[in-house]
Amino acid sequence: MEKKAICLIALLLLTVPSYCDDNTVDGNGLTATASMDPFKDVLNLKVKELNLSITPEFKIVLPDASVYVGLKQKLGDTQLEGATEYNYISNKIKYMIMYGLELYLPVSVRLYDNIAFQQVYAEKRYIERSKGLGISVDSPKIFDIFAVREEFKNEDIYYAELNNAYVPSQGIVTSLNTKFEIGIKETYGIDGAEKKYDRLNIKFDFEKAIPHAYSATNYLFVTGNLLGNRKFSATDNLEFRVETGYLLEAQNVPLTKMYKIGGFDRLIGWGIDEFQGYYKLFGRIRYDFSLAESINREIWWMRLDAVKPFFMADAGKVGNVHEVQCTGNYKFGIGAGAILQFTYRKRAPIKVALGIGQPLYSGRPPVFYFIYEML
C-alpha cells in the first residue's frame, strides 16, 4: 500500500511545470524519480530488496533427556544466532549468542557459557563451568570448495572434584582455532526442483592454547571430521561419518577439553556422554529410505506427510592414546527406527523419530528413543 502511494506521488510529479527541476520521492526500499527533461527517462523507479530470513530450531531427545533451542536471523549483511541446550540427566546447561557481519570478510563475535553440575571424569564427579568470548574471521570459499576460519577465544574455566577434599581449580584459557573445510556438493531433483547435499565434507580443527602471564595452559588438539553421502534416489541415502581427535601437545590441559561420546547422536544405545578421553575415534554408517511419500492423512491439525525408516551402526572409543589404538577396547552399537514427518496447521513442519538402540555388550539392555524436532 505504501509503495502504491509513492508511485502515485511520483506520477503526480509529472504534472508540475516544465521549469521545475527533477523531482525525487524516497520511501522505505523504493525511490521514484520524475524528470521534465525530454532527453531523460520520464519515470525511474528503483526498488531496494531487503532479505530477511528467520530459522528456528527445536529438538528433544529421550531418554538422553536433552533439549535444544536455536534461532538464526539473517537481515541483509548481518546475522544473529542464539542457542541454548539443557540436559536433565547430565545436569548440563549451555548458552550461546553470536553476531555476524559481512564486511570484506565475514566477521562474527560470540559469547558462550557451559555449565555442568555433575560431570563424570574417570569415575569421579566434578562441577565445571567454562564461559568465554570468541572472535572469528571466515575466508571466502575458494572454487566453491575450500574455506578457512580463524577464531580467537578467551575463556574462564572452573572445575572442582566433589569429594571430601574440595579443591577447586580455575583459570583463564586463551586459544587460537584454525579450521579448514573442504566441501563437495551435488544436486538431486525432488518435486521438480533441484536441491544440494554434501557429497563429501572434510573438516580439520587445530586448537592451540597460548600460555601467558595469566594462563598456564598449553596444549594442541587436532580434530577431524569426515562426512559422506551416497544418494541412490531423492529419498534413499547412505551416510558414513568418521570423527577423530588427538592431543598432540599436552603440558597443562583442563578436564573440560576432553572428548565425549555416547547417546543417540554418537554411539547409539550407550549413555549420554558415557565415555571421556583426550583421544577419540568414532564412526557411523546410516541408511535412510522412504517407505511412504505424500500420505497427506490429517488428524487434529496434524497432517502426516511421509514415513522414512533408518538403520545405523556405530563404533567408537575415547581414552588415552593406547586405548584408542587397541581395537579390543572399542564400543559398538546398532539401531533402527522410523522418521515420521508431519505438518502442523498446514504451516509448521515437524519431525518425530522413533528408534531402538542396542549396545553390543553383554548385559546391556536395548534403549528406546523418541526424538521430536520442529524445523
pTM, rounded to two decimals? 0.79
Note whether residue 309 is domain-resident: no
Range of the domain at 42: 2-47
- The answer on 97 and 118 residing in a single domain is yes
**High-pLDDT (> 70) share of the chain, %:** 83
Note whether residue 302 is domain-resident: no
- The answer on 26 and 9 residing in a single domain is yes
Output the pLDDT for position 348.
84
* Residue segments in the chain with a per-residue pLDDT below the cut of 70: 1-52, 122, 164-167, 189-193
Output the pLDDT for position 103.
84
Output the pLDDT for position 193.
65
Mapping DSSP onto H, E and C, the string for the chain reads: CHHHHHHHHHHHHHHCCCCCCCEEEEECCEEEEECCCCCCCCEEEEECCCCEEEEEEEEEEECCCEEEEEEEEEECCEEEEEEEEEECCCCEEEEEEEEEEECCCEEEEEEEEEEEEEEEECCEEEEEEEEEEEEEEECCCECCCEEEEEEEEEEEEEEEECCCCCCEEEEEEEEEEEEEEEEEEEEEEECCEEEEEEEEEEEEEEEEECCECCECCEEEEEEEEEEEEEECCCCCEEEEEEEEEEEEEEEECCHHHCEEECCCCCCCCCCCCCEEECEEEEEEEEEECCCECCCCEEECCEEEEEEEEEEEEEEEEEECHHHHHCHHHCEEEEEEEEEEEEEECCCEEEEEEEEEEEECCCCCCCEEEEEEEEC
CATH code of the domain containing 255: 2.40.160.50
What is the number of structural domains in the chain?
2
pLDDT in tens, 309-360: 999 999 999 999 899 988 888 999 999 999 999 988 888 889 999 999 999 9
- The answer on 234 and 172 residing in a single domain is yes
Output the pLDDT for position 158.
86
- The answer on 253 and 152 residing in a single domain is yes
Note whether residue 349 is domain-resident: no
